Amino acid sequence: MTFLEYRNSQFHECTGTPTTEITLKVDESQKKLILVVPGGVSMIERRAAERNARSIQKSGFQTAKRGRIGAGFELVVEGHGGSLPDRLTHSPREVY
């Protein structure tokens, strides 16, 4: 399993444990890309990471040693970070 960490609006290959909040696990055995977004992450950052993960899903990620990985894999999003705040999910007006 390969870990990619989300830094500076891009995914980067990780050597060891990831140091950033948003990570992408590339599981070659199950053919899955697992995007982990913890709570406390902004919706904008989550959507940007999700777009980058979908790009990797289509064309793959070029690693330093193993070539291109992740192309054609299923994308799974874990975590609840980046969701809309409660105050935006309700209408400010009451419905009569």
Predicted confidence (pLDDT) per residue in 19-47, tens digit: 889 999 999 999 999 999 988 888 889 99
Report the pLDDT value the prediction gives residue 94, as an integer from 0 to 100. 66
Tokens 């980058």 label which residue? 52
Q: What is the pTM of this model?
A: 0.81
Residue 90: predicted pLDDT: 74
Longest dimension (CA), the chain: 63
pLDDT by residue (tens digit) across 51-93? 999 999 999 999 988 899 999 999 999 987 766 777 777 777 7
Within 8 A by CB and 6+ apart from 17, the residues are: 3
Q: Check pLDDT > 60 for residue 96.
A: no
- Amino acid symbol at 28: E
Note the pLDDT of residue 82: 65
Q: Comparing C-alpha atoms, which of 79, 72, 81 is closest to residue 32?
A: 72
**Euclidean distance between CA atoms 62 and 78, whole angstroms:** 23
Is residue 5 packed enough to be buried (19+ CB in 10 Å), middle (13-18) or exposed (0-12)?
Answer: middle
